[in-house]
Structure formats: C-alpha cells, structure tokens
Structure 1
Amino acid sequence: MAGAISHEHFEHSKVVLTLNLDNSQPIELGAFVSAFTSLASDYRKGLENKGLDAEAKLYITEVRSGSIVADLMPVIATAFPVVAASVEQLGQAVDFVNTWADRLTKLKDGLVPEGLSKSELKTFTDAVQAVASDPNANQLLEAATFEDGKRKVKAAFKFTTSDARAIEKTIEGEFKRLEQQTEQTHERVLMYFTRSDIGNAPIEKRSGERAIISTISERDLPIMYASELAEEKIKHEIREPDENIYKKGFNVDVSVQFRGEKAIVYKVLAVHQVIDLPDE
C-alpha cells in the first residue's frame, strides 16, 4: 500500500471520486460510515487485484440538511511522469465507477455478478444500507477531473431507495443459497489421506480425518463414514502396523456435501479396493 496522502496531493490531485448521499431522514451512524468506507475498501481492493499499489482516503467535503458529500482521493503508486499518472488515475476511477454501476445494476435486477465472494457481497450490502433504510433517498457516485479549475464528470452512477432495497433482497437470497447444504454422489473415485486416526468415530459424524479426492477438489476435506463396514475397511489399513496409510489409495463411493458451491465434507459410502500409490 502507498503511504498516507499528503496535503500536496490533496491540493493538486486532478482526479477525484465523489460520493453524494442524499437522505430524507437522519442517517444512522453505522449505515453512514458503511456507505463511505465500503466504497474506499472496494476501490483499494479493485486496484490491488490488478497488481497496483494504491491508497484511497476519504474527505468529507460538504454536509448540509439531508445531504453528505465525500471525496475519495485516489493515489496510485507509479513511476510515470505526473501527467501520465493523472491519466492512469482517471482511467482507474472511471473503470471503478463503471464496474460499481454494472454490479449494482445486476444485483438490482436479481442477478448475482459472477465471481463475487461473500465478503464482496457484504461490501455492497454496506454500501446501500443507508439508502435502503430511508423512504426517499439516493446515492450518486462520480469520477471527475479538475481541468483549468473546472470540475468535469467523466462517469457517474446513481441509485435510489427502491434500487437499494432490491439489491439487499438479491444479496440476502444469495447468502441463503450459499448456506444451503446439498449432496452429490460420486462412484469409484480415488481417495487418499492427509490426516488419519486409528480410533472409531460415530457413523455419520466427522471422524477427525481428512482426505483428498482430486477429481472433485484439490483441497483436503474432512471425512465421515456412512456405515460401520465402510469405516472398518479403512481402519484396518490404518491400524496395520506394517502399512503406511499415506501411501495407500482407496477406490470409494462418496457422497460430497456442499454448502452453496463449496464442498465441505466427504461421506464414505463404500470401499471397493485398496491400492498402493506409486512413489513420487
């Protein structure tokens, strides 16, 4: 991250992101803070995802009845000359506003943009909270430059109370979907252990062991057993003193439990064969 923004940067920066929050009722403090900090956080994260060293500071520039205006002063670390750096900052600011607009518009229309994480969805919930909780509010985001002392808007996006509430509804539905647990059965897949335990575990409960099934996920996941027979076949190999469980592969049927789209546990249904894994 770049260092703190200097007074000189504030005076001479040619690019600014301005957020105007216009409410008909007093804004709850937490919602007010979230509206502005979520913007700064998402801006920084967007630039970091592009490999840019960036910083963004919020300055409250105007407070009047029913309206709060804040400037987000973007600074991108660059070895370019000042003019080129300003062009780079403007391009990034315009791109940010357009991306913000595209994502919020999709969420308003009931669509979840591809690739958004739960934390990113939470950022958008925070961003619209102040507007959604007011019966007649709107929020305006602008990317602007200062040329010859005049402010020129290069990109803008505005949403209203009804938009914000629709966005909240979409995100709430997505959170519920992500928490739903489903199962998929896979037959005769190769499983190998990354953590084992000689002790027995209750059937249908996590055993404390972990295993990888690379055709399903490269991550190791907890395992449980659907029957005593399936458990005993594996435990026999674990308890055999002359065998190394980590050099064994197990041809198994498993039920993969998902939370949303993420696999969270393997339930071993049947063990068909035990094989020796080749030395790496």
Structure 2
Amino acid sequence: MKIETTTQSELIIHINNQHPIEVLDFTQSMASFALEYNHHSKSDDFKLYIKEVKSGSIIATLVAAAPTLLPFAEHANSVIEFATHLKNAFDRLTGKPSDTALDMTSLTNITKLVEPIAKDRGATLNIHTINVYGNVENSFNVTNLDANAIQNNARREMEGLKEPISAYQNKVVLYFSQARGDNKKGDKGIIELISKKEVKVAFDSQELKSRMIIEADHNIFDRAYIVDVKVQTVNDKPVLYTITEFYESIELGD
C-alpha cells in the first residue's frame, strides 16, 4: 500500500530500555499510540504510520497520513497537537498541573502506552516532535516511576468512571440505620436480601419520603418497610437504594 505524503511533522518515540522488551508489550504500546491519536484527533481518515525505526534502544518515527487522500494542510501539525495532549495527560496522571480531561478510552490507551516503561526499572520513554521546518516543538520524557504513577492513577480514575448498574427489586424488606426528618440527603438503610451492610437511600419523590419518615407517628428505627427499590451497584456492590414504592411497615419485634 503506497501512502502519499508531503513534508510533515514527525513524532519521535525513543524507548531507552535497560532490559529486553516483550514483543507484545511493544506492539500494544505502539498500537495504543495510534489508538489514542485517532481518539484525540477524531479523524477516520488520517492515522499514525511508522516512517522509520532506528537502532539505539528503540527509536520510532511516526507520521500522520491517509492512504487514500492527499494530505490536508490542517493535519500538518496534528502530531504536534497530539504530543501536547500526551504531555498534558502525563502531567495530570503524575500529579502535575493540567486541565486535560481524560475519558475511559484515553485512560485505557495511556495505561497500555507506557507498559514497557512501567515494567523496566531503568527504562525511559522520550517523546519529541519535529515540525515541517525541522524544529523541535515538544520534548518530554517518562521515567519508570512516572509510568507506574500514570498507570496507578489512570486505573483509579477508570474505577471512578465506571457506570453504576441498575436493577429493580420488588417488595423487599428495608430498615433504616440512619434517617433525616427533613428534605436533605443522608438516609441509609439495610436490605439483608441484598447486603448486610448499610447503603445510601434515596426516594423516588419527596411525597414518598414524607409518608415513610417525615410524617411518621412512630419510631422509624423500630420498624421495617416493605418497598420496591432500584438498586445501583458498582463492581457488584450496592451503592444506592432508590425507593420507588412503599407498601407497609412492620414492627421489628413482630
């Protein structure tokens, strides 16, 4: 396949490794560069291609090109913009000031991208870009310590981005371990059928909470409630019970 290109910016990736790199780790790293470039550029036409691989640890020169299209001027600096994105992402994930937002896809790509560096205590990833005039635009590096911090923080953020899974339970028994007699949040309860641990409780409507708690003429902690609930879980653990229907209460001593 012939790739039509003109003079263009280049992304230089230099992995200075102390130990041999597993082929799978290297290929996944290169693939993750390409995947993150596509994700960041939001272009289906232009992709990263390896222009040259040099000796001296691993030095790869990448360019953006389109197999079927003539290069467009607006893509001339896309690899420079991409390198800036990577620098900002690395800064964020190593605790440095950065306002770059990272979604699940970027966090996954970046975790795999630095894998060869994270596995080798003496390794360093050096990245720099060269513009169409031959001048260096970006130049930064990632050490082994940086790579491990990037992966750990990326995985932590990925856990936080996981969407809760919802399921409905009908006519289950709930009792409150904590409740507020006003309109504010802070209610907690236990549904032993689901979990022995207390979980945050919300109500489908304020009228429902008023009927169950605010206007109750009894001690709510002495009673259990038969309810329909929407159960939201993260990592198979319940994090929120939303009461959607209330049928009756029963004294716990009965």
Report the TM range for the smaller structure's normalisation.
0.5 to 0.7
Residue 110 of structure 1, CA deviation: 8.0
Runs of 5+ in structure 2 lacking a partner?
A: 165-197, 207-223, 248-254
Out of 234, 246, 249, the position equivalent to 1:271 is 246
Residue 127 of structure 1, CA deviation: 0.8
Residue 102 of structure 1, CA deviation: 0.8
Pairing 1:62–2:45 present: no
Residue 106 of structure 1, CA deviation: 1.2
Q: Deviations over 1:205-227 (max 9, x none)?
A: xxxxxxxxxxxxxxxxxxxxxx8
Distance 2:98 2:107 in 1: 9
Tell me the residue number matched to 2:234. Answer: 259
Residues 178 and 259 of structure 1 are in contact (CA less than 8 Å); yes or no, is this contact kept in structure 2? no
Moved more, 163-172 or 124-133: 163-172
Relative to 1, partners in 2 of residues 1:92 and 1:64: Cα closer, same or farther, differing over 3 Å? closer
Secondary structure, aligned partner of 1:57:
strand
Query: 1:241-252 alignment to 2 at 5 Å?
Result: none
Query: 1:98-113 alignment to 2 at 5 Å?
Result: 98-109=84-95
Relative to 1, partners in 2 of residues 1:32 and 1:160: Cα closer, same or farther, differing over 3 Å? same
Secondary structure, aligned partner of 1:230:
strand
Query: 1:5-154 alignment to 2 at 5 Å?
Result: 6-9=2-5, 12-48=6-42, 52-59=43-50, 61-65=52-56, 67-75=57-65, 85-86=72-73, 88-109=74-95, 115-147=101-133, 151-154=134-137
Residue 62 of structure 1, CA deviation: 2.5
Q: Deviations over 1:173-225 (max 9, x none)?
A: 334555697954322439xxxxxxxxxxxxxxxxxxxxxxxxxxxxxxxxxxx
Secondary structure, aligned partner of 1:8:
coil
Residue 103 of structure 1, CA deviation: 0.9
Distance 2:83 2:97 in 1: 19
The TM-score, its normalising length taken from structure 2, stands at: 0.62
Secondary structure, aligned partner of 1:54:
coil
1:230 maps to amino acid: V
Out of 148, 151, 166, the position equivalent to 1:168 is 151
Identity of aligned residues (%): 20
More strand by share: 1
Pairing 1:230–2:220 present: no
More helix by share: 1
Runs of 5+ in structure 1 lacking a partner?
A: 191-226, 232-253, 273-280
Distance 2:3 2:38 in 1: 20
Relative to 1, partners in 2 of residues 1:228 and 1:170: Cα closer, same or farther, differing over 3 Å? same
